[in-house]
Structures are given as C-alpha cells and as structure tokens.
Amino acid sequence: MNWKIRKFEVRLIGAFFLMKKVWGLPVAFLLLGFVASAHAQPNGGPNSEFMWDESQPYTVLDKVRFSNGQFIQVAEGKVTGQSYTQPVREECEYKRLEVRNGNSGSLQYISGACDGIVHIRAAYPDEKNAKLAIVTTNCGGTMCSTWNDHYIVFLADSGIRVTRVGTSFYGPKNKITKYGFAFDGQRLSRSSVINFYDGTENDLGDLLPSTRIFVKQDGYVDVRFDKKFLRFVGEHPDTVLGDEQVRASVVQKIKPERFRAFRTAMSGPGSSHVHNGRFLVMNGCMKSNCPWEFGTVVLDGFTGALNVMRFAPDENVFDHASSVPLKNDVDGVWLGEVDTQQKFRLSIEGGRLWATRKR
C-alpha cells in the first residue's frame, strides 16, 4: 500500500473519531462518506441517501421499473423470438438480467449478470419508480455458498446501466460489507463499499477487507487503483496504446511492427470496463474488418502491468504481449472478460497466455 493511501487512512480514522464524538453518527455512514471523497472525488463526502448490506432480510424482486420507464427482469433459457443479434454467453442461458424497453417491453440488452442464480435484491426508492437496484448472482451449487457477484443497476445518460462491483465473499459477522449511495436527482453521484471481501487472504487464511468507490465513467474501483489510470476508465483501447508512458513496458519488449498490428486490431469500435475493482479491460475490433479481427488491452490498475492481445479466428491468429509474466492467482480473474467472440478459450501456463480454439 502506498504512502498516499496510508495518509488517507490516518485522516479517515481521525475524522471518524472526531465526528463520532461530536455527532454520534453511525460508523458505516461516516466511513462511506469520507471514503467516497478520498479517491478522485474532490467535492467532499456524500450524505448517504440509501444504504444496503447483506444482513438485511433476503428479498427477491421479480421486476424493477426505473423512473425513465425502462425495467429490468430476470429471465432464463435461450433467447428466442428476438431481433437480438449480440453473442450470448453460455451462462446467460441459465439465468440472466435483462434490460427492457418500458413501452414495448422489447429486449434492449442482456447484462453481464448471468449465472445459475440471479436475484434482484433491492430497489431504491421502490421497485416501481427506481433510480437504483442491487443484483447478486452465483452458480447455485454448494461450492458457491460463500460468495456472490454483486452488480449495481443505475440510471446513466444513455438509460439503465448495469455495472459489476466484483465477487464478494462473506466476511466476519461483525464486519459485514456495507454499501452507501448518494444521488443528484435521479442520477447516482457517489457511492462507496466498505468491508468488501474479494477473496484476498492473509497468511493465516483470514479474508482481508477492501474499499471500493464509484467512478462515473464506468463503475467501482478499489481505492488501490492508481489515480493516474482513472483517465482511461470508460475509454477506447487506443487511449492506452497511444500513451507513451503506459505502453513503454510492452513497446520495449517487441518490435514496432508487432505493436502496430495490436493497435490496428483495435482501430475500430471499442469499449472498456473495470473488472473486480482492479483490472481495466478494453475490447475493440479492427476498422473496416470488424468482427473478423479484434483485440484486447488489460491494464492492472494497481501495478500498471500491461497485456495486449489480438485475434483473427479465420486465419487462426492469436498474439499476446505482456510487460510481466502472468500469474494465475492474479491474472486468471480477467480472462473471462476478454472478448474472444466465443472463438477462443484462454488459459495461463508457465507465465504465458494461451488461446485454444473452440470447436
């Protein structure tokens, strides 16, 4: 943990005890307020309008209608009878969270919240005129009984947005995960999550808590996410590939023509998102040749480690370059976020990334 974060922790603890002494406000409220202002949030801490945690009664909502008229619902089985042309992941044929048009009820898109169990756990202020909802998913088996994937559904300029906070394990009962949300009208303005257990353990096997905060460009990042990388969140892959400092660790290891091939593979439409609070995953395809050639950039927001990939399935081409050797326990978590157009299965062996063509 760097010195800036340590200084923040000291200020946070001091502020907490001062405020507790003066106002006697709840611990979670204060922590959520101060944490939200500590990482690219210059306007101070929010007064949390809505708070939620796993200790509340287990509620499952069938459908939530948002204030803009759109609604979300859980569906299962194959997507049929729709003009929906986007690739659908295999797990989305079990259960999935759908975003639908409020007037016609037509399917607008299938979110990434797909698994054996998909539950809409809460809506604020209610399920008929919401501006925020909380969704949890897991595989549904006994091996999944200790964790949930958490998603926040909120209103953005383009309509309903579904963002993944990360995989949340159940921590100690006296240190449960807590969410706090503040709004500017119907829009989510600030949010933070304290005691988020992403599976990281100490040497004794204890789960270590982390803190995540909301950034408007995409969703939630860990407070350890380096501030200098925040400008890339929600941007096109070429913003990273075109940055001399960020790309230097890869450029110095490969020939210029090879780097240009990576860049060209992502010269067309592209998008990005933060995965599990740490990894910025940026997918894109080649201009005038999409989706037959495409690529991915993965930037580690903690360390700055950079991975670039390109794929051309019809030519059986896969290429990968990395600034550091890959580790399964660290980098394995982002493999499923790489858009391979359902053509490749990725794995890590011997510090390298391998792509196996799906049959």
Q: Is the pTM of this model over 0.85?
A: no
- The answer to whether 344 and 313 are in contact (CB under 8 A) is yes
How far is 195 from 152, CA to CA, in rounded Å?
A: 17
3-state secondary structure of 346: strand
Q: What is the pLDDT of residues 139-153, one digit of tens each?
A: 988 888 889 999 999
How far is 231 from 239, CA to CA, in rounded Å?
A: 9
The tokens for 115 are 């698994």
Residue with tokens 């240009």: 260
Residue with tokens 């979300």: 72
How far is 195 from 30, CA to CA, in rounded Å?
A: 14
3-state secondary structure of 92: helix
Q: What is the DSSP letter of 206?
A: P
Q: What is the pLDDT of residues 61-105, one digit of tens each?
A: 999 999 999 999 999 988 865 556 666 778 888 999 999 998 888
- Sorting pLDDT into bands at 50, 70 and 90, what band is 25? very low
Q: Quick one: CA torsion of 339, 345, 349, 351, rounded to 10 degrees?
A: -10
- The pLDDT value recorded for residue 208 is 93
Domain ranges in the chain are 25-223, 230-357
Q: What is the pLDDT of residues 141-194, one digit of tens each?
A: 888 888 999 999 999 988 999 999 999 998 888 899 999 999 999 999 999 999
